[in-house]
Structure 1
Amino acid sequence: MRRFLLWMLPLAVCFLLPSCNTVMAGARTSKLSQLRVSHNGRFLVKEDGSPFFWLGDTSWAILQKATREDAPNQPSVLRYLEDRAAKRFNVIQCRLVRNAESTNAYGQAAFIQGNFARPQIANGANNDYWDMADWFVSQAEAHGLYLALLPIWANNVPNHDPIVQNPVIAYRYGHFLGNRWRHKSHLIWVMGGDPVRERDVDNPERLRMTRAIAEGIADGANGDTRFDGQADYSTTLMTYHPRGGGRSSSRHLHQEKWLDFNMIQTTTSFEFRNYKTIAVDYAKEPPKPTLDAEVAYENSLSLSRNAPPDKRIQPWHVRKAAYWAVFAGGFGHTYGHRSFIGWVREGEQLGRGADIPWFKSLDAPGAAQMTYLRNLMESQPFLTRVPAQELIADGQAEQPNHIQATRNADGSYVMLYLPTGNAVTIQMEQISGKQVKARWFNPRQGTWQAIGEFAAAGTKRFIPPSHGRDRDWILVLERNGTKIR
């Protein structure tokens, strides 16, 4: 039997008192399906087993800077949620707090005297930081959006902070979160937060803190209060946001029992090869889903020291990052725009070229083109999709011309991403059936163009309708008779 720890008794009592639970989200019932890992360990699925294609957007600072209502320097955050839902995004990545000193747009502090062990709770509705968080959690749900929530931004929490030094504090904070939203099925918990080397989980104290927060969240969600390393993680979905530079959570945490899927941060630059990082994750055992959750922020200046100081990430870079990662084996993808990650308001100018207010960037081309990505991936059987570089007989090249291929396991369809409209020769016998229907998909406009029908034998060279930078195409080959859904 799990041992009950006496030091946890005050925490258990606190969660039973109304003053500790004002406007508890747990009183509501979630309308979004709980997500879980698919049986083959490659994807996420809903409760009924149907596939979930993760199309995320990044708004790290939204809970610190957004407002419920229209304000002089920005409209209500509802405008953002409505727009992202309309564009078929289904996940918003954001941090609950930046650090222990975090406040929101109303000046409300998250914690008493910067102490993670003491969340600032006030009686009544809309009176504290966590009331605003409750409201946002519920509004995201109402718009059909899952939230990938970071309990802390690890890079902004120094090693001397009590939450790092004392795992009890880390557990109690995690328990506070898990309990508060224990009936919300649309929350995905993301540990970490872009940690620099000395604040990453290869530091034993940071690993201990991360494990304690994760256990606290799971125990809070399950109504348990025993901090003994025996939490039931079956009711939660968790991952870890790693350092940038093409690193994955799998580097240190792949075997952690709380880590359901891997998350990669490729970092914003013009030269990236995220298909390689995805492939490394895909080869690990046991299999776990993986995705690139931070790469190539649209309209951003590059984070690379060798990049031109005034050159910005374009929609073409955004599309390359997305299709390379997904076709290499990612179960989804996260988009980002420089205006949203720091939540730029009217009159603000932040680093790396963040000089356009978020509400003036809602219709950035790259964001709209992510809709086409999701539409394409959901047009074919999804849970049996695998990487398929063996299909390429000729035409392969390195970045920026790298061709990435994916197919259904039974060979009923094949898709290849050609980033510069480069010609490619295909091993046609890899496609099942006798005849193959070929079409071009335009990822810039979401449109189709017929090519013709060919025998599923030998090799066949395909030349896209246009060639060059910003002239990417997707070659779709289907067994004759296969229908787009």
Structure 2
Amino acid sequence: MRLTGGVFSVALSVLNVAAAWNVTAEYAITPSSDGRFLRDANGLPFFWQADTAWLLFHRLNYTEAETYLSDRASKGFTVVLAVGFTQEGITSPNRNGDLPFVGKDVRQPNEPYWAYVDSIVELAKDKGIRICMVPAWGQYVHDSANNPGVLTASTAPTFGHFIGQRYPYLPKTLVADTNPWWENKTAVKADYTAGGVPPAYNVVDWSPVYDALASGIIAGERDAIANSTTWSPLLTIHPTNQWFSGGPLALASAFLGDRSWLTLDACQSGHADFPPNPPIPWWNARRGWEPVEQMYAAGAHDGTHARPVLDNEPHYENRYSNGNSAHPWWNASDVRTGSWQAVFSGAAGLTYGANAVMQFSITGLYASDGTGPGDYWLADLTLSGSDQMQWVQKAIRDRGDATYFQRVPAQDIIMGDAGVDDKRVTATRDSAGSWVMVYTPTGEPFAIDTTSLASCDDIQASWFDPLDGTYKTFEFVCHGVSEAVVTFTPPVEDGHVDWTLVLELSTSL
């Protein structure tokens, strides 16, 4: 598809006919050979720096989408998360007035709607950004009360095939903000509030619908690339930050770890930093590294199930804690700290979100949902946290392609108390010993064991600034492996306290 004067031409709508534009094989990203990282079609490192833009296809016109994508490209974002069949609903038209389906039938995509999606996917591609396609929001499998939606085991394969054939090589998140294993959450909360002995709840395993959707996507992609029988897309689910007591944790692999189609593990550490309302547990947003560590460890037990891991929805910048205006909102420091900690704990990248941007609220057109102080997406577009995400990627990529796939979490090199929650000092290193990096969110002195470095000769030491991506070198004298534990004191300047220590052999530079 090509745009001319702001007007696009499209082919006639026929189910399972590929789009009028092509996503080439060079667009693909896949797990690395050890399953821990992501790589591009040439086998080179791919760092997942994602922005959250759930309603991009639905609420922005083409000019606005270009403004948005240009901003994110300028800040180093490599991925944008966007939903095809959005949470707005099956009867809600997009900005152009087009509905997603004909006659409310998810097996009959409405061509003008999806042609516009094509145009934005291609626009992102031209700017060096990959769309992570979310085919549908989770409510279309089931709602909070456990009622079935329009995506069923019988309709999901057809819709999945359409998505796969039309958008091959795009990474995909099957559904968003729900889990396969579900009870009636509405009743669980009401009964707990009422007190007494709760009844036994009907637990439904919706994973057959997930499997059907995944199978359809894979079949569609293979049809689009000349009936390949070997290609597998980068595919995951986007769990909630909550789970039911006694059930699997809210991690993609906890529910679906035995599925061959699950090629990426993901969690949502969420937006709340206080204990959950019983009896439904949730992740603590100030401990986003915790589910990352658990996913990473799960893959370590069996190499056949090692997958790249991501926190796919940490706290959004400019969102109230738990989305409630009675609580403070998350700022740049919060999201910056969480991103560094997640990546150093083993994540293959990071996901950022600005609250008004993820929903694309527009005054007088699309009201903000009230979960943050911002109510216009263009204002939140320039929040400082979005600019600071690129420096996490820079610190990792600056170590060079030769060591990129050798990076491992290194919490064991932290000596003494590493700190709790988002005050935790977090470390990563090159498994071959050419460098170590340690992120401190507090500015307080910390001690590390340096014996993982392959040599004590000519080590270059620096403090990397997470606010602007610059290095401040300092003199470091290594006295040999017998003097392994070294205490470092971060600089105090520039109005912030978080820094990343970098120690690397000069031979690796």
**Common fold: TM-score over 0.5:** yes
Cα separation, 2, equivalents of 1:288 and 1:82: 31
Matched residues, number: 443
Show the counterpart of 1:478.
504
Q: Distance in 1 between matches of 2:338 and 2:416?
A: 22
Offset of 1:218 from its aligned partner? 1.0
Question: Aligned partners of 2:463, 2:253: CA distance in 1, in Å?
Answer: 35
* Native 8 Å contact 1:150 1:191 kept in 2: yes
Match of 1:375 in 2: 394
**5+ residue gaps in structure 2?**
1-10, 186-201, 243-248, 274-284
What's the counterpart of residue 144 of structure 1? 128
Say yes or no: does 1:194 pair with 2:173.
no
**Counterpart of 1:259?**
262
Q: Which runs of 4+ in 1 moved over 4 A?
A: 21-24, 159-162, 202-205, 467-470
Q: TM-score, normalised by structure 1?
A: 0.85
8 Å CA contact 2:232, 2:261 repeated in 1: no
Letter in 1 for 2:130: Y
- The alignment's TM-score, normalised by the length of structure 2, stands at 0.81
Q: Note closer, same or farther for the CA distance 1:139–1:353 as it changes in structure 2 (3 Å cut).
A: same
Residue 254 of structure 2: SS of its match in structure 1?
Answer: helix
Q: How does 1:54-453 map to 2 (within 5 A)?
A: 54-69=48-63, 76-98=64-86, 99-121=89-111, 128-158=112-142, 160-161=147-148, 163-165=150-152, 167-182=153-168, 185=169, 187-195=170-178, 197-198=182-183, 206-223=206-223, 232=229, 234-245=231-242, 247-270=250-273, 271-284=285-298, 285=302, 286-303=305-322, 309-347=326-364, 348-353=367-372, 355-380=374-399, 381-435=403-457, 436-453=459-476
Q: Deviations over 1:221-280 (max 9, x none)?
A: 1229xxxxxx95724221110011483211101221111010110001345212121111
Mapped to 2, the partners of 1:349 and 1:255 lie a distance apart of 39
Report if the CA contact (8 A) 2:174-2:236 is conserved. Answer: yes
CA separation of 1:23/1:86 partners in 2, compared to 1, >3 Å: closer, same or farther?
Answer: farther
| 1:31 CA displacement | 7.5
Whole-angstrom distance in 2 between the partners of 1:90 and 1:313: 23
Amino acid at match of 2:69: L
SS of structure 2 residue aligned to 1:118: strand
Is the Cα–Cα contact under 8 Å of residues 154 and 199 in structure 1 kept in the other structure?
A: no
- 1:138 is paired with a residue whose SS is helix
Greater alpha carbon shift after TM alignment, 152-161 vs 386-395 = 152-161
In 1, Cα distance between the equivalents of 2:323 and 2:59? 27
Write the distance in 2 (CA, Å) between the matches of 1:311 and 1:60.
Answer: 23
| Percent of aligned pairs with the same amino acid | 28
Deviates more, 1:144-153 or 1:433-442: 433-442
Q: Which runs of 5+ in 1 are unaligned?
A: 1-16, 70-75, 122-127, 225-230
Quick check: 1:164–1:206 contact (8 Å CA) kept in 2? no
CA distance in 2: counterparts of 1:52 and 1:413, whole angstroms: 20
RMSD over equivalenced CA pairs, Å: 2.7
